[in-house]
Structure 1
């Protein structure tokens, strides 16, 4: 992703040192519902360090003799972090697990049972705790103020840089594979094509954030001129109380989940959006997915690749609200611990980038 990300907030950038390591990046999965305590599935609450979810599944499969596909999990967690997540496996393999699971990197925190296995997406969200270094006392105070402001106003739900591979260009390979028209082979190809899907979503979202910024920071006349929009339309858009402007035909969804609907009455939808009751969605293009209509369709179309049909399409919230924001500053060590909750599929790094206003992607040492 070589283009600069468009930020929604216009405060001055902050300075801090971010590194995603097991000592500085903690994430805990919040399950979608509480487990029943009885049933044929063993539910493990697992704390792991320096280990990807894929690797965890492999280790559990080896210990139990199960196929990897028989082990359920809700979401993928990074390797370079200390993470707590839930997995499920058939209860009858519990003895094998107890006998054969021996690794320092995995700690079983709790066990319970459930009638059904855990499936992908079976989580509400994640709670993060991230330690930032080299941050001044003023920037730490400002960080807290801005983060709390974002808790009320929300942030754009960009995919994080992690989605786009080491060189940030994996989406280009994905585009090639998508355009070849062939069936996808294996998880690597699926991942590359979904990186391309995510890239299109991010570019669409950046364009909508940009036009919203133009409307909120200029007079109606100036904004109309800059955007090449009729002045009447800009007047209506600028009346909306929230930063991210809605258009007729936008697909909105109750937040944090519910049934999709189109924006038909702009001010009514805008008011619900301002209160955090609904959020607009962006397109992850692919097979059988609903597209926006009317004005919103024209804003979406340049980022919609109809040739991408090897993956199912989806809609993704364009705007989310961080919750439970708390910060703790260590004056001696010039370290800030930031705690917050994000809904599933959202990236902690996206939130931190919106606050700091710089890319957190670590440059590889040459």
Structure 2
């Protein structure tokens, strides 16, 4: 994650990740229990080195249904071992042999019926187990940084995956806003990249000022585990207590049409961070595309965080994150982590 400030100061390590798919494991945390009835077959699938869209296409062919009859809660990394849920619409409740799906890349862990199609974002979060190899750095400093992250949390950056190879999605979004025609699926991706870039700018300004996890005058608060926001309202002992126990978080804008909700110092910071020519063009494009102002928490705290040294230079990290949050945000606060699956790619700093 290049060109983003660090909340905890100088890097404490350098390492590589994804030397093999097993070094990057992600398990979806389901948001609901299957009903056991209905015409949507829920499949919990473990995939290795496989793209989510490609697996969905494979499921459609297996079931003999259109690709739109297959859905998933979220896309998962290809260069990884991931567990995720898919749904397949089978109105006659007749499923082909599950054994036909088995391969080196795909393994069905469980199947059950449900009465609704699986919606995007229908997950409680993701659990990560990452192995960093070739770790260089002082062990005591690394462990102190991990403890600080577990205790205080970290900036809730949008990860580099959102911006495409070499960050090309933002220039592509500007070209689209300038009139270049794109496919509908590309349009959605580019709108998300534009929004994410603006949010990261505001968060970067907060990190540089050291108030990414504190309160500014005119702060808009987001409830933990929710998209609900409230405020601005004057800081109080009650709000400070809720902030300290991670019940609420300061928030930043997901750009769209409408007025910014923040006021005072928070509003001034957001306006200043998004005042240059490129930001203004992204803002205008998002407004013209019909998106509305929303908010996103500026900080996150990984849950169930632990680490283990597998060898002197091999570190295993495990933690869970809410939906829409990125493991690369955690790695960013540690130092320079190169992605071995992308030969010649820059480090994910």
> Is TM more than 0.5 here?
yes
| Counterparts in 2 of 1:20 and 1:66: CA distance versus 1, 3 Å | farther
| Residues in 2 aligned to 1:360 and 1:315: alpha-carbon distance in whole angstroms | 31
Distance 1:184 1:287 in 2: 22
Instruction: State which of 314, 319, 338 in structure 1 corresponds to 2:299.
Output: 319
Name the SS for the 1:121 alignment partner.
Answer: coil
Match of 1:259 among 225, 228, 251: 228
Q: Which residue of 1 aligns with 2:267?
A: 297
How big is each residue's C-alpha offset from its partner over 1:112-157, in whole Å with a ceiling of 9 and x where there is no partner? 2222221011111100001111225842x54333223212201001
Q: 1:171 to 1:361 in 2, by over 3 A?
A: farther
Deviations 1:292-323 (A, max 9, x none): 23332222224261331325343222110001
In the alignment, what sits opposite 1:8?
7
1:277-292 equivalences under 5 Å are 277-287=247-257, 291-292=261-262
Corresponding residue of 1:346: 325
Residues in 1 aligned to 2:242 and 2:182: alpha-carbon distance in whole angstroms: 40
Q: Report the more deviating stretch, 43-52 or 93-102.
A: 93-102
SS at match of 2:199: helix
CA–CA distance in 1 between the matches of 2:39 and 2:127? 28
Q: Distance in 2 between matches of 1:22 and 1:364?
A: 14
Deviates more, 1:270-279 or 1:7-16: 7-16
Query: Taking structure 1 as reference, are residues 311 and 179 closer, same or farther at Cα in structure 2, changes over 3 Å only?
Result: farther
The residue that corresponds to 1:31 in the other structure is 30
Work out the CA distance in 2 between the residues paired with 1:103 and 1:211: 51
* Secondary structure, counterpart of 1:143 in structure 2: helix
Work out which of the residue numbers 272, 284, 289 in structure 2 matches 1:306: 284
| CA–CA separation in structure 1 for the residues paired with 2:269 and 2:255 | 14
Deviations 1:163-210 (A, max 9, x none): 211112321111231344x88632123212321211111111101111
Change (3 A) 1:289 1:65: farther
Q: Which residue of 1 aligns with 2:244?
A: 274
CA contact 1:329–1:335 (8 Å) conserved in 2: yes
Q: Label 1:136 to 1:165 Cα distance change in 2 as closer, same or farther (>3 A).
A: closer
Do 1:179 and 1:308's aligned partners in 2 also have CA atoms closer than 8 Å?
Answer: no
Where has structure 1 moved over 6 Å in runs of 4 or more? none
RMSD: 2.6
Q: Which runs of 5+ in 1 are unaligned?
A: 214-242
* Superposition deviation, residue 267 in structure 1: 3.9
Aligned residue in 1 for 2:126:
126
Query: Between Structure 1 and Structure 2, which shows a larger proportion of strand residues?
Result: 2
Deviation at 1:275, TM superposition (A): 1.4
User: Which residue does the alignment assign to 1:219?
Assistant: none
1:35 and 1:288 map into 2 onto residues whose CA distance is: 38
Structure 1 segment 142-221 matched on structure 2, within 5 A: 142-180=141-179, 185-212=183-210
Match of 2:104 in 1: 104
| Separation in structure 1 between the aligned mates of residue 339 and residue 232 of structure 2, nearest angstrom | 36
Cross-structure match for 1:232: none
Alpha-carbon distance change, 335 to 99 in structure 1, aligned in 2, over 3 angstroms: closer
1:262 Cα deviation after fit: 1.3
Normalising by structure 2, we get a TM-score of 0.86
2:207 is paired with a residue whose SS is helix
What CA deviation, in whole Å up to 9, does each residue of 1:307-348 have, x standing for no partner?
A: 31325343222110001111121236x311111111111111
Distance of aligned partners of 1:329 and 1:206 in 2 relative to their CA distance in 1, 3 Å threshold: same
* Aligned partners of 1:190 and 1:311 also within 8 Å: no
Work out the CA distance in 2 between the residues paired with 1:308 and 1:135: 41
Structure 2: segments with no counterpart, 5+ residues: none
Secondary structure of 1:77's counterpart equals coil
Q: For residues 211 and 197 of structure 1, what CA distance do their matches in structure 2 show? A: 22
Distance 1:211 1:136, change over 3 A: closer
TM-score (norm 1): 0.82
